[in-house]
């Protein structure tokens, strides 16, 4: 190539450099997480805060978890409507994820909610989130930490049917399942009764979580979500020490 040809090529390159410099790679949309559930999700005593606190800005979230809620009362008291309005607004331009985790109160004999209605409500919740442009995450119920007196490594599987309902709802709505029930049950079985009771909200409260328990099981939910949705890993700060303990059956 001659001298003048080289000069001409350089001039052409300089013309296009400003345009090329102005181009930016597409940025991942910051997700929002909207949490629907009972007291095992709620701000006090649930895993919700342990999931939301490690979010990396501009990712963010709101915990709508309601103590004592069933799938029916969550709707009747306006919490579901409030949550879906947030999803409607945010999903128009960004990624909105909704965790759906009920069962502890729906299963009670005096709840007024049949198992069939509970199952249908989970399905309806997931379908409505999808209709609004959001992504439902069906989170099976956190295990209770109740053990037979002589079996400190065999927690009572008291939410088995509710776990299957969450899995079924995810299947029929083509939604993501986050199997917290199976993971938390396996974990408390492995570390044993005494170690798992270190997470109790109070001495004889085997359902709700103290502040450190919120961190532990919030991390479990976060890790399960990232496994199911690897694209979200960049938005959740890791805790390698805690994750190692959780997935290697060590008291955290």
In 3-state terms, what secondary structure has residue 83?
A: helix
Write down the residue that tokens 């997931």 correspond to: 126
- For the ranges 9-13, 109-113, 118-122, the lowest mean pLDDT is seen at 9-13
Does the reported pTM lie above 0.85? Answer: yes
Residue 29: the pLDDT is 86
Answer whether residue 33 shows pLDDT above 70: yes
Q: For residue 216, what are the CA distances in angstroms to 16, 49, 106, 198?
A: 53, 10, 25, 11
Confidence bin at 22 (pLDDT 50/70/90): very low
**Pair of tokens at residue 157:** 């599987």
**Pair of tokens at residue 120:** 């249908």
Mean pLDDT over residues 7-20, rounded?
Answer: 42
Residue 173: the pLDDT is 98
Q: Give the number of other Cβ atoms within 10 Å of residue 250's Cβ.
A: 13
Q: In the chain, what are the domain boundaries?
A: 28-247
Q: Give the number of other Cβ atoms within 10 Å of residue 78's Cβ.
A: 9
Mean pLDDT over residues 106-112, rounded?
Answer: 98
Residue 18: the pLDDT is 41
Render pLDDT for 155-200 as a digit per residue (tens, 0 to 9).
999 999 999 999 999 999 999 999 999 999 999 999 999 999 999 9
Please classify residue 36 by burial: count the beta carbons closer than 10 Å to its beta carbon, then call 0-12 exposed, 13-18 middle and 19+ buried. Answer: buried
**Pair of tokens at residue 185:** 């049950």
Write the CATH number of the domain with boundaries 28-247.
3.40.50.1110
Answer whether residue 4 shows pLDDT above 70: no
Task: Name residue 121's beta-bridge partners.
Answer: none
Residue 27: the pLDDT is 54
Answer whether residue 53 shows pLDDT above 80: yes
Answer whether residue 15 shows pLDDT above 50: no
Q: For 208-225, b where at least 16 C-beta lie within 10 A, e where not — what string?
A: bbbeebbbbbbbbbbbbb
Residue 158: the pLDDT is 98
Q: Are 137 and 178 in contact (CB under 8 A)?
A: yes
Write down the residue that tokens 């969550």 correspond to: 74
Render pLDDT for 188-221 as a digit per residue (tens, 0 to 9).
999 999 999 999 999 999 999 999 999 999 999 9
């Amino acid at each position: 190539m001659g001298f003048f040809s080289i000069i001409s090529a350089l001039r052409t390159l300089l013309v296009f450099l400003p345009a090329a410099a102005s181009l930016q790679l597409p940025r991942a949309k910051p997700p929002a997480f909207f949490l629907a559930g009972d007291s095992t999700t709620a701000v006090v005593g649930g895993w919700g805060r342990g999931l939301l606190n490690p979010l990396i800005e501009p990712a963010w979230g709101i915990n709508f978890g309601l103590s004592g809620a069933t799938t029916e009362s969550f709707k009747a008291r306006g919490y579901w409507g409030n949550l879906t309005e947030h999803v409607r607004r945010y999903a128009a331009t960004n990624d909105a994820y909704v965790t759906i985790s009920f069962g502890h109160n729906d299963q009670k004999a005096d709840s007024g909610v049949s198992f069939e209605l509970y199952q249908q409500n989970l399905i309806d919740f997931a379908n409505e989130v999808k209709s609004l442009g959001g992504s439902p995450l069906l989170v099976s119920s956190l295990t209770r930490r109740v053990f037979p007196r002589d079996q400190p490594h065999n927690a009572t599987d008291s939410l088995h049917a509710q776990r299957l309902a969450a899995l079924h709802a995810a299947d029929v709505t083509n939604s993501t399942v986050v199997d917290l029930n199976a993971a938390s049950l396996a974990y408390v079985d492995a570390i044993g009764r005494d170690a798992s009771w270190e997470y109790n909200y109070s001495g004889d409260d085997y359902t709700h979580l103290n502040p450190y328990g919120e961190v532990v099981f919030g991390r479990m939910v976060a890790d399960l979500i990232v496994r199911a949705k690897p694209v979200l890993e960049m938005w959740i700060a890791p805790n390698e020490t805690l994750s190692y303990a959780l997935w290697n059956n060590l008291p955290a």
